[in-house]
Amino acid sequence: METEISKDLIMSLKRIYETEENLLNYINYYKSLIKWIKEHLKFFSVEQLENSRVNILINLNPDNYVVPNSELLLNKEKERIGEREYETVDDLLISIGDTLWDMVTIRVGIDCPNCIYDELRYVIAEKEGTQELLLQCETCGWTEHQNGEQWKEGLVKIIPASLSEIKHNRTSTLLH
């Protein structure tokens, strides 16, 4: 469902980039984007929020999930996101969703064995009340267990892994 984009929506997004405080650090930037999304939820359908993966990110605690060494250059975000022309709400949400994921992604340091174009990142799979730390390629979606075996358990909710979750899951895996 692609929906045309409101000029008011775009103007309100641009205001994020007019406030220097929003781009002082990754946590401020993350919080400002999340706040903007929550203030404008009426413009987005549930399906659009799911397709852009924003539905997962709007409820994370930035203090626990935002990484200090994101690959984003905060001084370039205004021109990359804030000055970009968006044709649809879907385009806008996907761009913001990708940006938010970049700010919470902890990379593993291992190239994807499937596509070799991207580095694997840590994610948490939530299934039937359990969680498992997995490695996933952002580019092709390849997902594997920590031991390198391909994930074959089907579709599950995937959320970013925080540093504390990575430490906890890696420690508990080593104990078993």
DSSP secondary structure string for all residues of 38-80: HHTGGGS-HHHHHHTTHHHHTTS-HHHH--TT-S--GGGHIII
Instruction: Please say if the pLDDT value at position 174 is more than 50.
Output: no
* Tens digits of residue pLDDT in 73-113: 999 999 888 888 898 999 999 999 999 999 999 999 899 99
CA angle in degrees (0–180, nearest 5) for 100-119-161? 50
> Between 169 and 25, where is the model more confident?
25
Residues 138-146 have a mean pLDDT of 91
Single pTM value for the model: 0.86
Instruction: Please say if the pLDDT value at position 15 is more than 70.
Output: yes
Instruction: Please say if the pLDDT value at position 175 is more than 50.
Output: no
CA 91 centroid distance within chain? 15
Domain boundaries along the sequence of the chain: 7-104, 107-175
Tokens of 135: 């490695």
Instruction: Please say if the pLDDT value at position 161 is more than 50.
Output: yes
Cβ atoms 124, 165 nearer than 8 A = yes
pLDDT band at 9 (very low <50, low <70, confident <90, very high): very high
